[in-house]
Chain A
Amino acid sequence: MFNVPAPDAFAVFGVSRTLDLDEQELEMHYLKLSRECHPDHNRAQTTDDCAAVLQRSAEINDAWNILRDPWRRARALLEAESAGVLERNKKLDPMFLMAALELAEEVAFAESDRQAALTDKLQAAIDSDFTALQKDVNNGDFDAAAKRVHQSHYHLKALHDLEAKS
């Protein structure tokens, strides 16, 4: 198996490396790039050309799936800015982890009448994670940003678990 590092999603799309991408513009851009690679619009002359177009097409699809999701976009941005930054910042504050454990318990034992309020609470936590993440990225503090991404994973997972209950 070849261990080729995944190409930088921002570079594949040719957009600037920022968290604040306009999602509508991004989708238009995706459609345009896809069209360019479509076999109907792109008569490859040789087998080599054909393989290259296919490769490009796969890269565009992968990049699209990363960029359209704010959290995956954040991971890609951090790795592109500072390789290994997510791995280096996996140790989270015990106080945060304790709160995450309590949150997970709250979700596990939530009665149905409590689910709407809890969903709002988790969504608010995720939104505030993202705001804090944007601030860290804008300040160029990628270590702090990586910790935010890890923390948000606990909130996203709790929300996912809550949704799976109903």
Chain B
Amino acid sequence: MAYSDKVLDHYQNPRNVGSLDKDADNVGTGVVGAPECGDVMKLQIKVSDEGQIIDAKFKTYGCGSAIASSSLATEWLKGTSIDAAAEIKNTQIVKELSLPPVKIHCSVLAEDAIKAAINDWRRKNGKLAKEEANS
């Protein structure tokens, strides 16, 4: 299967690889996995008092598409607001990276990771709606 140039670019030069302090109050961490392929993705955001994402880091163990999806996600997250970040959809990632149907689940993983990171930050900062607190 041929990867798109954008996937290859992110795979070869992943942006924002690394970790933020998961215990810090202004950091939200999301860790999600796709057990069928044994992929795991950790995505972290650092949020300012104004609700702006000032930094984003990821670590992904998985295929090229999973790495590219999370790398792209951190690029999009940096400088955006929490509310705008929550609106990012996997379909946007699919479109940007031209992911083939068999790799769509990688973009779903990235969306799940973003949502998990946002929820973690909201939980820490008392901004979580009750029904979400249990999820």
Contacts and interface: CB of A to CB of B under 8 A. Distances in A.
A73 B33 CA distance: 23
Interface of A is mostly: helix
A157 B38 contact: yes
Contacts of B116: 94
A101 B32 contact: no
A159 to B, nearest CB: 11
B31 A90 contact: no
Give the interface size bracket for A toward B.
Answer: 10 to 19
B71 to A, nearest CB: 16
Contact of B31 (A94, A104, A153): A94
A1 interface: no
A152 to B, nearest CB: 9
A98 B32 CA distance: 9
6 contacts: A90-B34, A94-B32, A100-B40, A101-B61, A154-B33, A156-B38
Interface of B: 30-36, 38, 40, 42, 59, 61, 116
Interface of A: 90, 92, 94, 97-98, 100-101, 104-105, 150-151, 153-154, 156-157
